Structure 1
Amino acid sequence: MKTYCLFALLAALLLAGCSTSKEEILPPGDATMLDIWQHNAGSARTTTEARSVLRRGLTDQESQTRQTLEESYTRHAENEIQQLFPRLPNPDMVIYIYPHLAGSEPAPVPGYSSVFPFYSRVQYALPGERLEAL
């Protein structure tokens, strides 16, 4: 019996909490949406003005630090030369092809040298990886 009363009381409280009138939530008035928007925008402007009063200028040291920080990740000709991922050495292999006969009707081919890279793909070092020992 207690649980039934407790449940009924809880249901009544929940239903009473949802019973609000439209006039309470949206009060009647002659204000248009434009008036409401301009009224709220006016308070935002005063907030912006208050914030600008509280702001202070940067000191020379802070300005220099900010400029140095911005230049550290800005690309320009000086830091473009540095490679973040340098290429790993890929030695050239030289092969000598001896004179031979080639083709369906054997024709003499003189001996020649050919150069090709040791690795088939270009390999790159990770940032900070040592290249001196390679």
Structure 2
Amino acid sequence: MKFKTLILLLPFTLALTACSTSQDELLPPGDLSMKEIWEQGGNGSQSSIIEARNALQFVRPINSALANGEENKHYTRTAANEATNLFPRLPNPDLVMYVFPHLTDTLEPVPVPGYTTVFPFYGRVQYAQPGERTRDY
């Protein structure tokens, strides 16, 4: 019984000791404390970030095509596009059937010419849940 217990515990203890490491090896401590790092982080870097932002900004004339908002119209949230974006309609394929020429079932049979008709596959419109995939990617 002791031998079986030893065999079962030996791999478990080896796995635990193999995965263990010291904190100093994994993440060696630096010379500065967290407070010193925090105090040094905001002094010089904020001004360089502001300078970089100002260099990247460009002046757009008022009469440009981008200024009038026509290009951004598709990105604006409205009640109509919000509902279609949240709850898109699921595809409803059509079933196209051909009705062969036939006679009516009345007292006097009347010939009916052949015709084609279309039935939607589902009886009513189905909507997807928010976040549900509606197409194959």
TM value normalised by structure 2:
0.39
Q: Of Structure 1 and Structure 2, which has the larger fraction of its residues in helix? A: 1
Structure with max Cα Rg: 1
TM value normalised by structure 1:
0.39
